[in-house]
């Protein structure tokens, strides 16, 4: 409790100092007005574009649809011009810069269709970013003006690339993360690429819990409402986020783990050499077990409430 009190006291001091400095600056510059400029970005001829990134050079990246809106292409807006990065499958295939690109060396990374059919029929890589019929999708790197180059996979068919972005939970308190990872206690790490794979569709929810009383109806309505409010394009599914942690608590063997040495984290979130303390990194969870257990408990709850 003493440590927490110190932290709160320090935070209060910082806030008071910042307010004092802001007030002093305002007194010295009474006529200063904070202003912003909104720029309407061009399109490649279609009616839908999105900017997902801007870096310190002012290079904006995202996607734009060519005329006809049949596909989307990774696009860059820089120095008053728009650049169509194309795709590795040709003009009739999709690509996108789906995540922020913060480097300042002029490189852009993202995901692209290749035009090659995936023999396994997998769509997990592309399907999160654009409609696909089972084409192989890979990560790419490009100069901001063009020159898309495929990035290799680890032996599978699909992949994607994203510029460095700090994981949300880590960004809340890097020092605390370093204390925990360096302590030698038992740590289970569930990376973001594991917990983002727990997706459900609207149709699945309706079939599984649509008749599970007010709770089932409420949960479905909340998910649909969230997508409609915050998702830029029509979508019929949602990843249930941190649910893998629940699955592992219910049944630890529902996860596949690999033992790795604990890392440390730099101020920017990058991994650094850490201790030799072993941690358990979860590489996959049993999504069937997780979702079916949740659906069953929601249905059972509704049944018990209706009988009471």
pLDDT per residue as tens digits for the range 96-141:
998 888 776 678 899 999 989 888 887 777 887 888 778 899 999 8
Question: Considering only 5-14, 145-154, 176-185, 222-231, which range has the smallest mean pLDDT?
Answer: 5-14
Q: Can you say whether residue 101 is alpha, beta or left, with left for phi > 0 and alpha for psi between -120 and 50 degrees?
A: beta
303 and 177 together in one domain:
yes
pLDDT at 232: 64
Q: How far apart are CA 71 and CA 106, in angstroms?
A: 25
One domain, residues 138 and 199:
no
The CATH code of the domain that includes 233 is 3.90.245.10
pLDDT at 56: 75
Name residues whose C-beta falls within 8 Å of residue 176's C-beta, 6 or more positions apart in sequence.
Answer: none
- The whole domain housing 182 covers 170-307
Q: Average the pLDDT over 36-55 and give the result.
A: 90
Of the two residues 251 and 160, the one the predictor is more confident about is 251
Structure-model confidence comparison of residues 57 and 74, the more confident one:
74
Considering the domain boundaries, does residue 158 fall inside one? no
Q: pLDDT tier at 58 (50, 70, 90 boundaries)?
A: confident
- What tokens does 190 get? 């569930």
CA max distance for the chain: 70
Domain match, 280 and 176 both: yes
- Whether 3 and 58 map to the same domain: the answer is no
Q: Is residue 160 part of a domain?
A: no
Q: Is residue 165 part of a domain?
A: no
| Residue 238 in this model has a pLDDT that exceeds 70 | yes
Q: What is the pLDDT of residue 125?
A: 77
Which pair of tokens denotes residue 136? 């192989």
Q: Based on the number of CB atoms within 10 Å of its own CB, is 149 exposed (0-12), middle (13-18) or buried (19 or more)?
A: exposed
State the Cα–Cα distance between residues 25 and 176, nearest whole angstrom.
Answer: 34
In this predicted structure, what is the pLDDT of residue 168? 60
Q: Which of these ranges, 2-11, 64-73, 124-133, has the smallest mean pLDDT?
A: 2-11
Q: What is the pTM of this model?
A: 0.49
Query: What does the pLDDT look like over 263-308, one tens digit per residue?
Result: 888 765 667 788 888 999 998 999 999 999 999 999 999 999 988 7
- Please return the burial class of 199, using the count of CB atoms within 10 Å of its CB with bins 0-12, 13-18 and 19+: middle
Q: Is residue 134 part of a domain?
A: yes
Instruction: Using the predicted structure, report yes or no on whether residue 25 has a pLDDT greater than 80.
Output: no
> How many domains are there within the chain?
3
Residue 184 sits in the same domain as residue 250: yes
Q: Are 224 and 279 part of one and the same domain?
A: yes
């Amino acid at each position: 409790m003493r440590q927490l009190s110190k932290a709160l006291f320090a935070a209060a001091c910082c806030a008071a100092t910042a307010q004092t400095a802001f007030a002093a600056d305002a007194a010295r510059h009474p006529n200063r007005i904070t202003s912003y400029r909104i720029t309407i970005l061009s399109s490649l001829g279609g009616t839908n574009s999105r900017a997902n990134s801007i870096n310190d050079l002012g290079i904006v990246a995202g996607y734009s649809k060519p005329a006809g809106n049949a596909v989307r292409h990774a696009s860059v807006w820089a120095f008053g011009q728009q650049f169509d990065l194309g795709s590795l499958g040709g003009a009739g295939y999709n690509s996108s810069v789906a995540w922020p690109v913060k480097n300042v060396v002029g490189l852009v990374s993202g995901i692209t269709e290749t035009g090659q059919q995936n023999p396994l029929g997998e769509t997990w890589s592309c399907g999160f970013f654009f409609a696909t019929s089972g084409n192989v999708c890979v990560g790419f790197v490009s100069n901001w003006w063009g020159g898309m180059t495929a990035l290799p996979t680890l032996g599978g068919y699909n992949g994607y690339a994203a510029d460095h972005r700090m994981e949300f939970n880590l960004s809340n308190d890097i020092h605390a993360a370093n204390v925990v990872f360096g302590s030698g206690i038992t740590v289970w790490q569930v990376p973001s690429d594991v917990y983002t794979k727990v997706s459900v569709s609207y149709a699945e929810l309706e079939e599984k819990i649509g008749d599970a009383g007010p709770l089932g109806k409420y949960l479905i309505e909340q998910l649909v409402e969230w997508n409609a409010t915050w998702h830029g394009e029509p979508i019929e599914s949602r990843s249930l986020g941190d649910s893998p942690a629940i699955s592992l608590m219910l049944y630890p063997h529902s996860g596949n783990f690999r033992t790795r040495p604990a890392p440390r984290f730099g101020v920017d979130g990058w991994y650094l050499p850490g201790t030799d303390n072993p941690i358990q990194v979860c590489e996959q969870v049993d999504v069937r077990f997780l979702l079916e257990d949740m659906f069953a408990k929601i249905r059972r709850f509704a049944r018990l409430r209706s009988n009471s």
